[in-house]
Amino acid sequence: VLQSSNSLKASYEDWLLSYGLSVSPFHMRWQTALFNRQFYNWGRWKPKFLYLWFSIGMVFGIVAMFGSVILLGKTLMQTLTQMLTEAPKAQNDRMLQVVVSILSSSLCLRAGNLMGCVPGVNLPVSQLTYFFSAILISGVIHEVGHGVAAIREQVRFNGFGIFIFIVYPGAFVDLFTTHLQLISPIQQLRIFCAGVWHNFVLGVASFMVLFLLPAILFPFYYTGVGALVTEVAEDSPANGPRGLFVGDLVTNIQDCPIYSVEDWNSCLGDISEKSQVGYCVSAATLQQLSFPARVYRRLDGTVECCSNNSLTDICFSYSNNLDSNLYACLPARKVIEASKVCRTNMDCQKDFVPSFCVTPSLENQTRLIRVKHPPHIDMLFVGHPMHLQYTVSLSSFVPRQNFLSIDLPVVIETFCKYLISLSGALAVINAVPCFALDGQWILNSFLEATLSSLIVEKQNRELVGFVILLAGSALLAANVALGFWMVTAR
């Protein structure tokens, strides 16, 4: 609107130019020379160390270029196999989603290549701060690598900038193209590989922080004692007067001990995969608690023997070694409390007291789960174990003092995971020999450095590079298109 106005166009463009701003549909960027002195200081710091540093980065970038092609090739074959298979394996499906996540995360970082990252749709709104912060930091570190390497190789540095494409932030550096073209292919490789290399280093550093976090926070938080509840969703089945509360320390799920969040997830996974466990109840107690009830079968074949209106009673099945299956409607808490977990009646034979292993008769995939969080009374959960996993947030870190935040370790953990994912995504995708990515310039410089003696004509070398870039671009596009189709279709 402003550019279409004859009276405002000139002043508007002058204002943008004075502040280093550039605005176009869905895209805005800011460039400045304020940081040039700092970049030059970095580029001239310990020349021998920087030479070694970026030489290692060059080797890494070349290996990553070939490795990314192999990864995308395997992923494409795996995706096509799953498309032609009616019942794909769960393990392969998880691998596919990981690769597609890396692809979509990285493409979000490239202006003009926005695919797959939709805040509030496939990205939780609560995670937006982590997501955008990790994108910006990963992009800045990537471009700092290019800028410092360029100054180290005597290429003029014009400026540094930040852009926003729709809602996705990123960074860029402005280098003098003529200088860049005059240096040797090996020097160019050090510059072009520096971004990928710095993203890899950032991912490794974030992983080390994540791995060493218990030791780093040891003076303030201790671990290995349970999983601390940090949030319970309002619509969670665990929400209620006898449910879980923020600050509770979960120590057991059924007979599975909990020492960390990983144990919590692992135990819930085992519970969902295995059949429902039973509980040892003496014959006298069983006779005392049970009462006559009508037995009927549900549509899925399971048996119900309690009133649908009951909030405390559950239908249990057991065997007395005479009849194959007997059913009794019992008060769940009285049966479970102080009871031993069992699979068969043989697990309950102790002190010559006649006992039975009674098992909740529930619908498919539904489980009765006992969660211990002392000193509170045990929580009894009836439902799918994954509902409990998705609606309850926990932390492995327990504050040593009451004034310490229970959320700080979670924030650090989550941010490190986003940095690992997004910085790793930039490293993987930018290494692909594809048009408009770093891999294009890495490939061209690599061919100039290795094929100049074999293919004398520069045009022929450029033709070889064009064919490889075309294949790499097609490979990346096919992975993204088929990967997104598979994930969204499921």
Catalytic residue positions? Answer: 143
For residue 114 the two structure tokens come to: 């926005």
Residue 227 near residue 263, CB atoms below 8 Å: yes
For 263, the enclosing helix (H) or strand (E) is helix 261-273
**Residue 451 to residue 66: CA distance in whole angstroms:** 17
Q: What is the distance of C-alpha 376 from the center of its chain?
A: 33
* Start-end of H helices in 35-184: 36-43, 47-83, 90-108, 128-152, 177-182
Which strands make up the sheet holding 27-32, listed edge to edge?
21-24, 27-32, 157-165, 168-175
The CA dihedral of 63, 68, 69, 70, to the nearest 10 degrees, is 90
**Residue 170 to residue 143: CA distance in whole angstroms:** 9
Which strands make up the sheet holding 367-372, listed edge to edge?
256-257, 252-253, 367-372, 379-383
Check the CA dihedral 447-452-458-460 and report its sign: negative
Q: Closest Cα to residue 305, out of 318, 292, 295?
A: 295
The gap between the terminal CA atoms of the chain, to the nearest Å, is 43
